[in-house]
A = this chain, B = another copy of it.
Amino acid sequence: MKKVEIALLGLGNVGKGVWNILKENKDEIRKRSGYDIEIAKILVRDKNKNRGIEIPEELITTDYNEIINDESIKIVVEVMGGIDPARDYILQAMNNKKHVVTANKMLLATYGDELGEAADNKGVMLYYEASVAGGIPIIQTINESLTANKIEQVYGILNGTTNYILSNMDNVGMDFSDALKEAQEKGYAEADPTSDIESFDAAYKLAIIASLAFGTKVKIDDVYREGITKITATDIKYAKEFGYVIKLLGIVKEIEGKLELRVHPTFVSRKHPLANVNDAFNAIFIKGNAVGELMLYGRGAGELPTGSAVVADIISIVRKGTDIEDYTTVKNNLWHKEIKSFDEVECKYYLRILVKDKPGVLGEITTALGRHDVSLRSVIQRGEEAEDVKLILITHKTREENIQSALKEINQLETVSSVENLIRIENL
């Protein structure tokens, strides 16, 4: 059997997943790739850390030169995460004619273009299926299976932690802080959950998907981002009452040549396939002008699902031949597409407003909305014991800047205690 040697950079969860899959599924991989794929070196920061996995000592190194200068190593697999030194390591690997597989969403969302160009200049392959949605083959699907389409819209549940939290809130009626605590206890959320609950993680993934799906450069700063921390049990309850479920969606649409990019909690009809994506699962829903509606669903994280995507990338490279002299990566700067300012985005809105229990309140609010061209589809006001009363409004479609300026005005009304929440509604 022919042999290909590879190196791992990093031995965290994903690195361990890759190691275990290459061992456990050796026979499958051998038959499908035609090669024995051997990990020849693993770069770590601390040689003596106990990782609960048995790996021959001579494979482990703290010196990247041992990898970069080893000509028998054909593929470098970066699973360390973060920008530095991952970016530099990858560029060095390409300089030395090594192909690269990476699972690094932050790096790709920030420097994806630079890495793609470097790969092309050096004629090496750059694969990164694992950077978005773990085991779900979304990159491959966009790059290979949807090439005959104008992709029009992509909606993704791209973060398992927040989907776990929101599913729990929806099922059990929990409040956000309790749901977060439970997710942390069960290991679904980190001790510092910021990257997940403030939607940084989902925004990185959306930027990568959008670049590929629309063949254009999307930077992480192009993505409007909002977290899930303001969602309450009350919002979930009203969403249900109106036939919706609240999901954290990454959304990209092309409308008249402009891209609209945003990650925020979203009302989704309970009848839509995305509404039934529960727990820590991820899903990506795509509309293309030929394929119609397509959804991919699966595990967006975890040692083995993410490892599955990394090893598939390694096998793709091995199958194409690691010795090809000038390989060209799939381009994501085929078109220049303008990014729409968030003010111009059009949505329907759910509003939860705390008002004083006085006559004429609703009238004042609808008048203020009307002044900014915002009209209402539904209103719920229920008398309660408290002095303040909850007013739940669902608007018709309007522009973001209209709703925001209307809300500024409403916030200043004497009869309004506060605008408690605004959640966007998508009719997928």
Instruction: Pick the interface stretch among A28-36, A88-96, A391-399.
Output: A28-36
Q: Residues of B contacting A141 with CB < 8 Å? A: 137, 140-141
Docked Cα-Cα span, A331 to B310, in Å, equals 22
Segment among A52-60, A259-267, A287-295 that sits at the interface with chain B: A287-295
A302 at the B interface (CB under 8 A): yes
A215 on the B face (CB < 8 A): yes
A309 at the interface (CB under 8 A from B): yes
A147 at the interface (CB under 8 A from B): yes
Tell me if A135 is interfacial: C-beta within 8 Å of chain B. Answer: yes
CB distance from A35 to the nearest CB of B (A): 12
Q: Is A129 engaged at the interface, CB distance under 8 Å to the other chain?
A: yes
Interface residues in A291-306 (C-beta closer than 8 Å to B): 291-299, 302, 304-305
CA distance A330 to B85 in the complex (A): 37
A229 at the interface (CB under 8 A from B): no
- Interface contact B31-A215, CB-CB below 8 Å: yes
Q: A276-B273, A298-B295, A334-B31 are in contact. Are A148 and B308 (CB under 8 A)?
A: yes
User: Is residue A24 contacting chain B, with contact meaning CB distance below 8 A?
Assistant: yes
CB neighbors of B among A58-93 (8 A): none
A320–chain B nearest beta-carbon distance, Å: 9
Complexed CA–CA distance, A305 and B294 (Å): 10
Q: A149 at the A/B interface (Cβ < 8 Å)?
A: yes
- Determine if B32 and A334 form an interchain contact, defined as CB atoms under 8 angstroms apart: yes
Q: How far is the CA of A276 from the CA of B315 in the complex (A)?
A: 34
Chain B residues with CB under 8 Å of A148's CB are 21, 25, 28-29, 307-308, 310-312, 314-315
Instruction: Tell which of B277, B298, B315 touches A147, judged by Cβ atoms closer than 8 Å.
Output: B315
Alpha-carbon distance between A293 and B294 when the two chains are bound, in angstroms? 17
Interface status of A316 (Cβ within 8 A of chain B):
yes
| A299→B293 contact, CB < 8 A | yes
B311 contacts A302, CB within 8 Å?
no
Known interface pairs A32-B334, A140-B144. Does A298 touch B308 (Cβ–Cβ under 8 Å)?
no
- A335 in contact (CB, < 8 A): yes
Closest B residue to A134 using CB positions: B291
- Given the complex of chains A and B, what is the CA–CA distance between A298 and B147 in angstroms? 16
* CB neighbours of A291 from chain B (8 A): 135, 298-299, 304-305, 308-309
A135 touching B292, Cβ below 8 Å: yes
A354 contacts partner chain B, Cβ-Cβ < 8 Å? no
A210 on interface, CB distance cutoff 8 Å? no
Task: Decide: A292 near B302, CB < 8 A? Known: A144-B312, A334-B32.
Answer: yes
Candidates B295, B310, B311, B316; contact of A296 at CB < 8 Å: B295
Partner of A145, one of B24, B309, B334: B309
Q: For residue A334, which residues in chain B have a CB less than 8 angstroms away from its CB?
A: 31-32
Q: A273-B297, A299-B292 are in contact. Are A33 and B144 (CB under 8 A)?
A: no
Q: Does A150 contact B (CB under 8 A)?
A: yes
Q: Are A311 and B290 CB-contacts (below 8 A) given A25-B150, A144-B144, A147-B33?
A: yes
CB distance from A31 to the nearest CB of B (A): 4
Q: Which residue of B lies closest to A334 (CB)?
A: B31
Contact with A290, one of B135, B147, B293 (Cβ below 8 angstroms): B135
* Complex CA–CA separation, A148 to B309 (angstroms): 8
- A136 interface contact, C-beta 8 A: yes
Report how far A297 CA is from B294 CA in the complex, Å. 6
Contacts of A28 in B (CB 8 A): 147-150, 215
Identity of the chain B residue whose Cβ is nearest the Cβ of A37 in the assembled complex: B148
**CB atoms of B149 and A316 under 8 A apart:** no
Q: List 14 A-B contacts (CB under 8 A).
A: A24-B289, A29-B147, A135-B290, A136-B294, A137-B146, A140-B141, A146-B308, A146-B312, A273-B276, A291-B304, A292-B298, A295-B296, A295-B297, A297-B297
Contacts A25-B149, A273-B273, A297-B297 aside, 5 further interface pairs with beta carbons under 8 A come to: A135-B290, A137-B146, A144-B316, A148-B307, A291-B298
> What 7 pairs across the A-B complex have the smallest Cβ distances?
A148-B311, A137-B145, A290-B308, A135-B291, A294-B298, A295-B297, A291-B308
